[in-house]
Amino acid sequence: MSVLDEPKIDAHCHVLDPAHFPYNPQVAYHPAGQEMGNAEYFLQLMACYHVTHALLVGPNSGYATDNACLLHALQIGKGAFKGIAVVPNDCSLEELQILKAQGVIGIAFNPALMGFDFYANIEPLLQRLAQLDMWAQFQVEKNLLLDFMPMLSRVNVKLMFDHCGRPHLPDGLSQAGFQALLALGREQRAVVKISGFAKFSQQPFAFADTRPFVDTLVQNFGLKQCVWASDWPYLKAPARLDYGPMLRIYEGWFNAQERQQLMCLSAKHHFGF
């Protein structure tokens, strides 16, 4: 059985449907063209590639803290989807509970886009997430994780990191931010998404320069703490990407048993599918 036919759970993708859920005019970047895709179309795509479930992430692009498009997808997915929402940093416990009741299992923080200072006051929000057993999902890059480590050491919240932590590849495996992420993995404090290669690779498809970083993450986290994700529909991708060829990368890097854990069982366990 090829990777295209194996059951999979996609741990990071977006739905964007400005025709029915208009973008926030205050948001700087509005995805367009092939960057867009609504929930109905994504369900069709999932069926083509034997993706049984998906974790939909509210995008900062287009929608910011407007979760209407995401919540609509959770409703029509009939159990196929769970969500990661974007909320204001002062989001209340009651608001989080309302989101959780609709299928949202965590909140996204994007320091790679917004910087640390934007999130310097989120420790109370992280405490509320811990209280509700929800995920705190971070998209960091380079050494940004270091700024958050004092805060994360004080809060026992479930941590998830997007796109391999987006290391700066010329700085190698020893760079401080990547080493901090590996330490969280060894301590079993976090889950990492083996995804988003186009966001930090310095080579064209098939992003061979990311392989040492992927291997090191798997060694330190263990496959049970790693999840596969497509990052569909590839917002701000530097060149065209498609679901099938991206899947083939994992077929070359992991055997069938490893793929079953990475691409299905880990997400099923962590996200309650």
Q: How many angstroms separate the CA atoms of 138 and 148, rounded?
A: 10
Residue 245 lies in a domain: yes
Reduced to 3 states, what is the DSSP secondary structure of residue 24? coil
Average pLDDT over residues 161-178: 98
The whole-number pLDDT of residue 127 equals 98
Residue 1 lies in a domain: no
0.95 surpassed by pTM: yes
Confidence of residue 58 (pLDDT cuts 50, 70, 90): very high
Residue 162 lies in a domain: yes
Q: How many angstroms separate the CA atoms of 61 and 48, rounded?
A: 27
Alpha-carbon distances of 267 from 10, 103, 139, 175, 182, rounded to whole Å:
8, 15, 18, 28, 19
CATH code of the domain containing 178: 3.20.20.140
Residue 66 lies in a domain: yes
User: What total of structural domains would you count in the chain?
Assistant: 1
The whole-number pLDDT of residue 223 equals 98
Q: What percent of the chain has pLDDT over 70?
A: 100
What residue numbers bound the domain in which 186 lies?
8-271
Q: What is the pLDDT of residues 92-120, one digit of tens each?
A: 999 999 999 999 999 999 999 999 999 99
Q: Which residues pair with 82 in a beta bridge?
A: 55
Confidence of residue 257 (pLDDT cuts 50, 70, 90): very high
Residue 2 lies in a domain: no
Q: What percent of the chain has pLDDT over 90?
A: 100
Residue 143 lies in a domain: yes
Q: What is the pLDDT of residues 74-83, one digit of tens each?
A: 999 999 999 9
Length of the chain: 273
The whole-number pLDDT of residue 136 equals 99
